[in-house]
Amino acid sequence: MTRTSRLGRIITTQSSLSYLPIAVVLLFSMMVLFMLFAARSNISPPHVHKPAFELNDEKRGELWTELLSWEPRAFIYHNFLSKEECEHLIKLAAPHLQKSQVVDPRTGKNTFSRFRTSSGMFLRRGQDKIIRTIEERIADVTFIPVEHGEDLQVLHYEVGQKYEPHYDYFTGKFKTEHIGQRIATLLMYLSDVEEGGETVFPSAIFNSSSLPYYNGLSSCAKKGGCPVIKGSKWSATKWMRVHKFELGNPL
């Protein structure tokens, strides 16, 4: 069954496509890998790289990759999650949502901010079989071990809620001293959004004729979540670290 949904603007363009969005990853110097979930379709767009590993099943359809940007290094993985997996994450998270916070770079403490107005919660890594399966799939496509992943954050955006442009990596030592910097982010969209809720990279570089030289954390990895105009938005985020992330570690 093919569902018609509105894929919000990623980088700079907005289009109406017949698939659900689902994911983002920052790899090596905060390169970004977008993975978007697609309802099953018999049509494969041209100029698509087919992954060497087998991650396809009847519920998700064929996994295929689309390059979006060189810096941040951004890809879309279509058919990354199934509808059932999306619904499972939402069902687990919905009763436990709390107002989202940001990290104060001066103190390293979590605080509320008008720049981030969503609600969210964390699902423990390996919490159940479905979450373990998703986390193993993330490790397969990012080549980052499951043990380096933080707990899975599920977010909910209602009308008017947003997350202004920001970096996922930390600018202070408070959150990195023992387990290292965040080297990857995978953002998964779990639902359709009728209008708004786009993910944007305002500093992205699109010249694919040359490869960027990465030296330190990329300033192009800044991203933001536009306000939801109609409907609501559910997403899930997996951050990955340089070193192993021990369960129970404060985020």
The candidate with the shortest Cα–Cα distance to 217, out of 11, 26, 67, 24, is 26
Summarised one tens digit per residue, pLDDT across range 167-197 is 777 766 656 666 677 888 888 889 989 999 9
Section 37-58 average pLDDT: 42
Residue 105 in domain = yes
Task: Kindly report the number of other CB atoms within 10 A of residue 26's CB atom.
Answer: 28
Q: What is the pLDDT of residue 160?
A: 92
184: CATH: 2.60.120.620
Number of folded domains in the chain?
A: 1
122 in any annotated domain: yes
Residue 247 maps to a domain = no
Per the domain annotation, does 249 fall within a domain? no
> Coil, strand, or helix at residue 118?
coil
Name the residue with higher pLDDT: 58 or 180: 180
Least confident of 16-30, 100-114, 208-222: 16-30
Quick check: is 210 in a domain? yes
Whether the CB-CB separation of 81 and 60 falls below 8 Å is answered with yes
- The whole-chain average pLDDT of the chain stands at 72
pLDDT value of position 127: 96
Q: Does a structural domain hold residue 248?
A: no
Point out which residues pair with 77 in neighbouring strands. 65
Quick: pLDDT tens for 109-165.
787 778 888 999 999 999 999 999 999 999 998 889 999 999 999 999 999 998 887
Does a structural domain hold residue 134?
yes
For residue 220, the enclosing domain spans 5-241
Residue 33 lies in a domain: yes
Q: Which residue's structure tokens are 């202070």? A: 172
Backbone dihedral region for residue 179 (phi beyond 0: left; psi -120 to 50: alpha; all else: beta): alpha
